[in-house]
Amino acid sequence: MTTPDERTRAIRIAGELLQDLKERQDVPQDLRTRALGVLRHYPEEWQLQMMAEEWQRLGTATFGLAPEPDRPDPIQQRLKSGV
């Protein structure tokens, strides 16, 4: 059974994969274009963290998302960088 934090990690890693596909020149242009289209609506890491925290707050994380215990908090990093 997939745990909520494993589900969060899978979503984050899928976004990283899409980003890699979009940038690689050895990937066919049609796949790079599709990756770009998906990434336009894909959550950034800090947004994913917020969604996971909201699932936790609502008490429904059993079937939802949960923060990754071994990752730095992307929201705090974003605030520190002023972005």
* pLDDT tens profile 55-73: 888 876 556 777 777 877 7
In terms of pTM, does the model score above 0.85? no
Nearest to 8 by CA among 70, 58, 59: 70
What whole-number distance in Å separates Cα of residue 57 and Cα of residue 59?
5
At 20 the pLDDT is 97
What is the domain count for the chain?
A: 1
What whole-number distance in Å separates Cα of residue 30 and Cα of residue 51?
31
* pLDDT tens profile 3-59: 888 888 999 999 999 999 999 999 999 999 999 999 999 999 889 988 888 888 887
- For residues 39-78, b (16+ Cβ closer than 10 Å) or e, as one string? eeeeeebbebbbbbbebeeeeebeebbbbbeeeeebeeee
Residues of the domain holding 40: 4-81
